[in-house]
């Protein structure tokens, strides 16, 4: 009984996505009475073709932003996380606390100066501006996450290497980084999705230029650009959400570990 | 050496902009020092608080909307997630159910907003059709076009998207409670309800703190969902307007832009998020 209930719930929970899929694959007049009405059923891929025309460049830009926007902060933050975990210096804990406090700041709090800085650097309306911004913005949470992970690692191996005369940097690359790989997997999944899904920073730094706008902004622009086409919007939405959903389905273990790791154990 | 790249990026693109925003909030649009005048303008604006002639349908202003979001969305998503976590412990294939519910969390929130257009559409939406079938004609209409249903429709839609979070956190929390506790209680003949209020819920306190904090942050910062489902104006008459959207509109949509007032809105929003997270942050850093 409880099993039936649970499964019904799971299916019901997905209904909005089913509806979106129906709107993408079927002509709108066909689903006016509701997508569960199958009197006429003529699925077509036509809307996906128009959606790729409309937001294909945007999807490419999303990859161009999200891949470096994930790798750069991962590397930079692991260095800093290692520093916080293993070296003590005056004010260390205050500095760390400040970095962590920045994690809760809403994006709106930096939007106006960021916009002005990027204009000043002649980076407005470029993919690069979004890569830089996401790299910086992801740092506080990744530093916290990596610092906590690294401080839980046993110190003995590093100490032995130091005794053998290895430099701090060598210890970092040869010992700490390989041991941190499981945590980095979790970070990569979360940060990539976060950047991919971002809308606010993108609409600030690249509101209207097709050459830099990521898929989320390109999608919203389809609403205004043509006569409103629910089929096109639905097909485009499916394409844009496909990437994070597939990533989540494949790397679920890492995703959940990251999520739980930095909210609970963290 | 280890800190230099991180500190440089954080200083330039996170810390400096935060202080610069506070700076901007102290000046008027024509560049004159204005003190706290922009803050006064925000608090006095009907965009922020608009309760004249209450009771009435929304808009109530962004600050009141935030309070409504927290009042409805927080208990619903928290207890729904907790209840599901408890129920799903005894279900075969529970991980599939959790995955299905969690998809809302990985979907870009802007698409969450677009989804609202489909779910609540008067002619193709499942929600109006559902209420139509129940004979409740008042709710069998397009929810996104009416101020009364717009705000609440978005809040319920957000519960649907966000419940996966509290479900996953509570599920992880439940695995940390030793089985002996329940078995001992069963031997003593403790009722299920008593078991929950006396044992399970207190032991889950760390998870509850995390869920409450993260959920309040989500509610305060909500932006993509609202703009995806409505417009930079926050829907009909601003009925679903929120603080983040108000800031965006003042600074980046309106011509001429009102950057000073927008910065004041952003500062308000930041103060609210800091108040909401202060205690949890201390708890996260200590270990």
Q: Where are the domains of chain A?
A: 15-44, 45-265
Long-range contacts of A135-138 (CB under 8 A, 24+ apart): A135/A68, A135/A69, A135/A72, A135/A73, A135/A76, A135/B9, A136/A73, A136/B9, A136/B10, A136/B12, A136/B13, A136/B14, A137/A107, A137/A110, A137/A201, A137/B13, A137/B14, A138/A69, A138/A70, A138/A73, A138/A77, A138/A191, A138/A194, A138/A195
The answer, for B97 touching chain A at a CB cutoff of 8 Å, is yes
Whether CATH 1.10.3720.10 fits A45-265: yes
Q: Using a CB-CB distance cutoff of 8 angstroms, which residues of chain A are in contact with residue B270?
A: 105-106, 108-109
The answer, for A201 touching chain B at a CB cutoff of 8 Å, is no
Average pLDDT over residues B6-34: 92
Specify whether the CB–CB gap between B10 and A99 falls below 8 A: yes
B120: how many CB neighbours lie within 10 A of its CB? 27
Which structure tokens are listed for B5? 């790249």
Chain B residue nearest residue A13, CA to CA: B101
Residue A266 pLDDT exceeds 60: no
The answer, for B252 touching chain A at a CB cutoff of 8 Å, is yes
Chain A residue nearest residue B99, CA to CA: A249
Task: Work out the percent of chain B whose per-residue pLDDT is above 90.
Answer: 55
Average pLDDT over residues A71-87: 93
Architecture of domain B57-258+265-285 in CATH? Answer: Orthogonal Bundle (1.10)
Q: Rounded to a whole number, what is the distance in Å from the CA of A52 to chain B's nearest CA?
A: 16
pLDDT at B284: 61
- Give the predicted TM-score (pTM) of the model: 0.92
Residue A180 pLDDT exceeds 70: yes
Q: Using a CB-CB distance cutoff of 8 angstroms, which residues of chain A are in contact with residue B89?
A: none
Residue B286 pLDDT exceeds 60: no
Average pLDDT over residues A176-189: 91
Specify whether the CB–CB gap between A223 and A233 falls below 8 A: yes
- Give helix then strand counts, H and E, for chain B: 15, 0
Specify whether the CB–CB gap between A254 and A186 falls below 8 A: yes
Residue B216 pLDDT exceeds 70: yes
Most confident segment among A40-54, A87-101, A146-160, B158-172? B158-172
Q: Please give the Cα distance from A31 to B44 (Å, whole number).
A: 46
pLDDT digit string, tens, across residues A123-166? 989 999 999 999 999 999 999 899 988 988 888 888 888 888 88
Q: Rounded to a whole number, what is the distance in Å from the CA of B88 to chain A's nearest CA?
A: 7
User: 3-state DSSP call for residue B187?
Assistant: helix
The answer, for B255 touching chain A at a CB cutoff of 8 Å, is no
Contact B168 A143 (CB under 8 A): no
- For A249, phi and psi rounded to 5 degrees? -60, -40
Q: Please give the Cα distance from A174 to A112 (Å, whole number).
A: 41
The ipTM (two decimal places) reads: 0.91
Average pLDDT over residues B158-181: 90
Q: Rounded to a whole number, what is the distance in Å from the CA of B45 to chain A's nearest CA?
A: 19
Query: What average pLDDT does chain A have?
Result: 89
Task: Work out the percent of chain B whose per-residue pLDDT is above 70.
Answer: 98
Q: Using a CB-CB distance cutoff of 8 angstroms, which residues of chain B are in contact with residue A28?
A: 124
Is residue B21 exposed (0-12), middle (13-18) or buried (19+ Cβ within 10 Å)?
buried
Residue with tokens 């996104």: B144
Contact B267 A109 (CB under 8 A): yes
Specify whether the CB–CB gap between A246 and A238 falls below 8 A: no
Q: Using a CB-CB distance cutoff of 8 angstroms, which residues of chain A are in contact with residue B204?
A: none
For Cα atoms B187, B191, B193, give the angle at the middle one, nearest 5 degrees: 140
- For B33, phi and psi rounded to 5 degrees? -60, 130
Query: What average pLDDT does chain B have?
Result: 89
Average pLDDT over residues B46-70: 89
Position A226 confidence tier, pLDDT thresholds 50, 70, 90: low
End-to-end Cα spacing for chain B: 26
The answer, for B267 touching chain A at a CB cutoff of 8 Å, is yes
The answer, for A83 touching chain B at a CB cutoff of 8 Å, is yes
Contact A200 B248 (CB under 8 A): yes
**Shortest CA distance to B98 belongs to which of A262, A20, A197, A7?**
A7
Contact A108 B266 (CB under 8 A): yes
Which of A33, A89, A104 is the mutation pick for testing B, counting most B CBs within 10 A? A104
Q: Please give the Cα distance from A60 to A70 (Å, whole number).
A: 16
Which of B112, B124, B249 is the mutation pick for testing A, counting most A CBs within 10 A? B124
Q: Rounded to a whole number, what is the distance in Å from the CA of A180 to chain B's nearest CA?
A: 16
């Amino acid at each position: 009984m409880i099993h039936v209930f649970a499964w019904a719930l799971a299916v019901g929970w997905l209904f909005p996505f089913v509806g979106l899929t129906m709107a993408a694959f079927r002509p709108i007049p066909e689903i006016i009475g509701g997508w569960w009405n199958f009197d006429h059923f003529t699925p077509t891929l036509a809307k996906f073709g128009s959606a790729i025309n409309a937001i294909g460049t945007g999807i490419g830009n999303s990859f161009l932003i999200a891949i470096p926007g994930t790798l750069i902060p991962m590397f930079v933050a692991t260095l800093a996380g290692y520093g916080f975990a293993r070296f003590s210096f005056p004010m260390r804990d205050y500095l760390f606390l400040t970095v962590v406090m920045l994690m809760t700041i809403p994006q709106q709090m930096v939007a106006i100066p960021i916009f002005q800085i990027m204009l000043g650097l002649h980076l407005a309306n470029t993919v690069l501006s979004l890569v830089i911004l996401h790299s910086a913005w992801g740092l506080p949470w990744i530093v916290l996450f990596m610092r906590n992970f690294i401080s839980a690692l046993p110190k003995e191996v590093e100490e032995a290497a130091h005794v053998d005369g290895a430099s701090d940097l060598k210890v970092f690359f040869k010992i700490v980084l390989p041991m941190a790989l499981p945590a980095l997997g979790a970070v990569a999944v979360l940060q990539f999705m976060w950047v991919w899904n971002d809308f606010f920073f993108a609409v600030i730094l690249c509101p209207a230029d097709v050459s830099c706008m990521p898929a989320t902004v390109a999608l919203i622009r389809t609403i205004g650009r043509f006569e409103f086409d629910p089929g096109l919007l639905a097909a485009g939405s499916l394409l844009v959400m496909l990437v994070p959903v597939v990533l989540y389905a494949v790397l679920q273990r890492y995703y959940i570990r990251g999520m739980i790791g930095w909210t609970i154990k963290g | 050496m280890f800190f230099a790249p991180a500190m440089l990026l954080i200083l330039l693109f996170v810390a400096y902009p935060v202080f610069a925003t506070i700076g901007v909030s102290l000046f008027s649009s024509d560049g004159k020092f204005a003190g706290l005048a922009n803050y006064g303008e925000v608090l006095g604006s009907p965009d922020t608080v608009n309760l004249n002639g209450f009771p009435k349908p929304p808009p109530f202003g962004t600050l009141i909307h935030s309070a409504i979001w927290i009042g409805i969305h927080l208990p619903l998503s928290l207890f729904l997630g907790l209840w599901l976590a408890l129920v799903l412990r005894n279900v075969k294939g529970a991980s599939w159910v959790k995955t299905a519910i969690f998809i809302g969390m990985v979907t870009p929130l802007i698409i969450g907003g677009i989804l609202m257009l489909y779910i609540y559409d008067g002619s193709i939406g499942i929600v109006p059709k559902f209420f139509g079938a129940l004979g409740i004609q008042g709710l069998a209409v397009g929810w996104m076009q009416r101020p009364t249903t717009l705000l609440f429709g978005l809040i319920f839609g957000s519960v649907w998207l966000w419940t996966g979070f509290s479900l996953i956190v509570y599920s992880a929390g439940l695995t940390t409670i030793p089985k002996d506790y329940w078995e001992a209680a069963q031997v003593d003949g403790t009722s299920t309800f008593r078991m929950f209020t006396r044992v399970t819920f207190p032991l889950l306190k760390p998870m509850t703190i995390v869920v409450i904090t993260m959920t309040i942050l989500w509610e305060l910062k909500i932006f993509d969902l609202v703009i995806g489902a409505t417009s930079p104006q926050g829907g009909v008459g601003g009925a679903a307007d929120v603080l983040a959207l108000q800031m965006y509109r003042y600074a980046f949509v309106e011509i001429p832009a009102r950057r000073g007032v927008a910065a004041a809105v952003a500062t308000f929003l930041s103060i609210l998020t800091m108040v909401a997270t202060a205690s949890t942050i201390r708890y996260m850093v200590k270990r």
